[in-house]
Amino acid sequence: MPFSFANPALLFGALTAALPVIIHLISRRKVRRQQFSDLRFLDEVNSTQSRSLGIKRWLLLLLRVLALLCLALAVAQPRWGGLAASGRGARSILFVIDSSASMKSHFEGGTRFGSAIAAVEGMIRSLPEGTSVQILTAGAAVIPVFSDWLPAEVAAAGRLINLNCSDGAFDLAAVLRESARQVGRAPGSPVELVLLSDLQDTGGIPGLAEAVERLKGIGSVLMLVRQVGDRVTGGGILDVTLPGRTVLPGENITLKALVTTEFAEQVFWLDLDGRTVAESVMETVAGGTDFGPRLLEFPLTVPATGIHLGRIRKESDACPADDTRPFVLKVPASIEVLLVHGPDRAVEGHPGRGGWRFLAQALDPGGLEGAFRVKTVTSNDMTTGTLGSCDLAVFVNPDPLSRQALGGLSRWLKAGGTALFVVGEPTQAANLESTILPLLDLPGSINWNRAETQPAPATGATVNQSSGISSGHSSGQRLHVVDPSHPIFSGLEAETMQTFAEVLVHRWFRFDEGTHRVLLTLTGDDPLLIEGNVGEGCFALMTCDLLPATTDLAANPMALPFFQRLAAWLGNRARLSDAINTNVGTEAVVRPSGPDSDLSLEKSDELLVLDDGSPMARSASLTWLAGEPILSGGMIHEAGFVTFLSGDDTVGIVAAGTPAEESATGLRSLSEWSRLLDEQGLVVAGDLTSIPPAELMSALEGHDLVGLFLVLTVILLMLESVLGRGVRSRSPEGS
């Protein structure tokens, strides 16, 4: 709106401009005719003078009307331009300062965040009395700076030097949700929302449409944007990928880092426990200038048992927040496996019910010290207590569980437990349909399948009706690995994978995987290994058992590495553990372990959280989930390590890195940003980028035209006075 009035109600005063017209019409005299001597020449002169005086009288009338009109407009306080709709007077202004990781970027004038703080301070100092102010910082979390709206003069007195930039991402949807809450508490309406940001290109914004609707439903908001900082070039570490399964001391593994770089042949280093152990170079694609994002590999020999602190780093650049990415590598002493099987029967012989002994020997060959410690119980003896002490529960053709045991298993899984189900006994189909399918959220029913049976060379085929085991030979179906890059199979040589593909399966259950993921299929595309989640926990389901009549997998050279990798992957899947890799902006949560893993409420005053680089520890909060203690350290704002302590003992570590969307250096233009919001129905009313902070009010209210109209009023009155004297001096007597 280029032309506006601070007091539009006073425009009714413009009606006074009609007074001169009314007076002129009322005061017009009637001409009297009177006989006189022959004065024809005098009549001609008077006629000419009368016409001249008539024009001047109308000009006088126009000057008086314009003078009154200009005076009325001046009283209404006219303004030219201005972004705000409310005009002059008391107002509420909500400042939103982007405090995400990209705002730490350096440019010629300092950092983007420092520039934004200085701009807000200048704007607040320029506000008139009666203006209410609130400030939000928006990074890892959206946080109000003041407990409530403050007068501008009070807000200006409290300098903003204590505000810090986080390593989190800018979440526009979260900003609008908190803005809606603040707008609802604002002293006046409409509210001017001033966003100061580098407009980092963070891709899609989940929940934006809902947040816009909430803000629009609260009250009238005028959104203004000030883009801060210049574009910079730089690279960074976007993510670090660990093996995805439990690793063993002395094992050779490869860590992968997704990186970008600002120049060719840039070096990246891998540090572990404070020592540089590997480096990798970003190689240039022939004839190209594309420096990322691409994967770099770092070879590593797994260190001894424990939790190890690592970093992928590069030389610092203009955007320092993404130049280092921390991670934690946990090397456990062992994975505690509870193997639950149905009671053995003579017909299965040495392999045991469903071939459970094959699986136990694969995980713990010869009872030697290794990564797995296996405890075996029959399904009749399983209790809820035995589940709580294991990292992985394995069920091989179990008999129907009691209602209490089944309920305990369900709660344990949903609370973060991991389980492997190996099922293949035809007589258990009804039990599986009524218990396992609902427990794992698998749809449909179970169908028993058998490959075509061929006669044995000598005596022919016979079938034991109680077990369904055939002594004949079957052509069987071969295995197919759906995703060779999966952690279970990643790193295996092609020859080893070919050996695995030669495994034959003669009989199996047909399950509908639903929305879960299939890891292995058979030749006919029936799923053989399915994985999925149940609440906070995860599971894998193998649709055949390990008896020789079922499959020759137990005799395959791949059996031992396959089952060890499968168990190591499942044992590493729980969402809550004592070694977590996450991003800034999430909550620091661990399941404690170590000498104080049996934490109790009585020791809650000894539970502390220590942030990386901070000398001061704070208290951790303790909750219980399925009978196990869970520690929380609150929202993570800075990249680095968060350490959980119980007294002097470390019971958990979280490594938090800068979110990948904040690592790129690309910025949106204001027009792109405006279009993004406009698509959701929120209009950006103006651009404050080039306006000095001290001129905020001028930008909001426009240029004051009161003085101009007062000057015009004086000029018009002066012209009327000069012209009026001339008319009166030449007016005929008595006319």
Burial class (CB in 10 A: 0-12, 13-18, 19+), 578: buried
Residue with tokens 């580098």: 198
> 131 - beta bridge partners?
none
pLDDT at 530 (0 to 100): 95
Using the CB atoms, write b or e for 624-644: b if 16+ within 10 Å. eebebbbbbbbebbbbbbbbb
pLDDT at 471 (0 to 100): 38
Element (H, E) at 533: strand 527-534
Two structure tokens written together for 113: 């965040």
At position 297, the amino acid (one-letter code) is: E
- Helix axes 40-75 and 706-730, enclosed angle (nearest 10): 160
User: Are 242 and 479 within 8 A, CB to CB?
Assistant: no
Phi/psi of residue 665, nearest 5 degrees: -105, 0
User: Are 138 and 98 within 8 A, CB to CB?
Assistant: yes
Phi/psi of residue 187, nearest 5 degrees: -65, -30
Alpha-carbon distance of 92 to 218, in angstroms, equals 14
User: Are 553 and 503 within 8 A, CB to CB?
Assistant: yes
> 629 - beta bridge partners?
624
**Who contacts 278 (Cβ-Cβ below 8 Å, separation ≥6)?**
269, 270, 298, 299, 300
DSSP state string for 447-493: EEEEPPEE--SSS---EETTTTEESSEE--EEEEES-TTSTTTTT--
Mean pLDDT by 10 residues, the chain (735 residues): 53 56 56 55 53 64 73 69 57 94 87 93 90 94 93 82 90 94 90 93 82 89 90 88 84 91 89 95 64 87 93 92 94 87 90 93 73 88 79 92 88 87 90 88 82 45 35 70 89 85 92 90 92 89 93 91 89 73 93 61 74 87 78 93 88 93 83 88 88 84 67 76 64 49
Phi/psi of residue 185, nearest 5 degrees: -105, 0
Burial class (CB in 10 A: 0-12, 13-18, 19+), 36: exposed
332 preceded by a cis bond (ω within 30 of 0) = no
Angle, vertex CA 432, rays to CA 429 and CA 435, nearest 5: 150
Using the CB atoms, write b or e for 649-687: b if 16+ within 10 Å. ebbbbbbbbbbbbbbbbebbebeebbebbeebebebbbb
User: Are 338 and 331 within 8 A, CB to CB?
Assistant: no
Report all structural domains of the chain as residue ranges with CATH numbers, in order of start: 3-25+39-81+704-730 (no CATH), 92-231+668-701 (3.40.50.410), 236-332 (2.60.40.10), 335-452+469-571 (3.40.50.880), 579-657 (2.60.40)
DSSP state string for 369-419: SSSEEEEEEETTT--HHHHHT-SEEEEESPPPPPHHHHHHHHHHHHTT-EE
pTM greater than the 0.85 cutoff? no
Longest dimension (CA), the chain: 163
CA distances from 19 to 15, 25, 63, 728 (A): 8, 10, 12, 20
Strand residues in 141-246 grouped as ranges (E):
142-144, 150-151, 191-197, 221-227, 236-241
Alpha-carbon distance of 144 to 592, in angstroms, equals 33
Q: What is the DSSP letter of 89?
A: S
Nearest CA among 137, 268, 251 for reference residue 196: 137
CA distances from 474 to 237, 352, 471, 553, 720 (A): 53, 22, 10, 14, 118
pLDDT at 275 (0 to 100): 96
